[in-house]
Structure 1
Amino acid sequence: MQLLYEHRSPPRTGRKVALIITGALMVVALLIFPPEGLVTTWSLWALACALQLAGVGLLALPPVIHLWITRREIIIHPTGPVRRLPIQHIHDMELSGTEEDPVLTLHLRNGEELDLSDWTDNVPEVMALLAQLGVARRDA
């Protein structure tokens, strides 16, 4: 199976590292300026540890794959509950919406309509790839 297109969720590594750095800065601040009161001290230490652990835990999670396109089929959510659409089952595709928020709708041969815009951010590239694979475009 030759993979022609793949859409993953963005890694957002900067936000995850920011959680770790914020927790580390809190630890440094707690060491330099220890607060008064046992409950406040333990609460701030727990928050600092939780931020660091959340950042490290999120870094360990792989990004979610939303869409694969091969020469023979479109596979939606390949790592979860998989939905496979053979290319020959697609009657045509239609582009609607605005330039900022395009909507790509696939019309299947069984009469079903499937919005691919929920599964990808790069609608023009997906449309061009599907046209190259032989899917006709419906004019609105």
Structure 2
Amino acid sequence: MTDVVDAATRSRMMSGIRGKNTKPELLVRRFLHGQGFRYRLHGKRLPGKPDLVLPRWNAVVFVHGCFWHMHDCRYFKLPNTRTEFWREKLSGNRRRDEAVRQQLEGMGWRVLVVHECELRDRPQEALAALAATLREVRPSS
């Protein structure tokens, strides 16, 4: 099946999909900051460039979109067009996520992942659970 829009329109549409500073990420950032957590953004020196790096808590947080990370929830659906392309692309994302998790854990970091669906369906619960998980380990002084 051919695309229903021309190449220029598709390019414009795809350029609007952000990888940083997404609404779910901003929600997590505002909440954690309000809870007293301090963090660095998009740790360029760490594998996978985590969305939030909390050195004092020895933790990194990834805020994952359900589609791009093939999360098993109601918000993920494999596209009906170019199915094999999307399956391979999204499976590659999942493999990379797991490799990054292993690398970071090997470096001694706690890796926390918040999915878009958790923030849509039950945001206060998801954010409170994230903060509680972060607090499980006392910060280094």
Q: TM-score, normalised by structure 1?
A: 0.26
Higher helix share: 2
Q: TM-score, normalised by structure 2?
A: 0.26
Bigger-Rg structure (1/2): 1
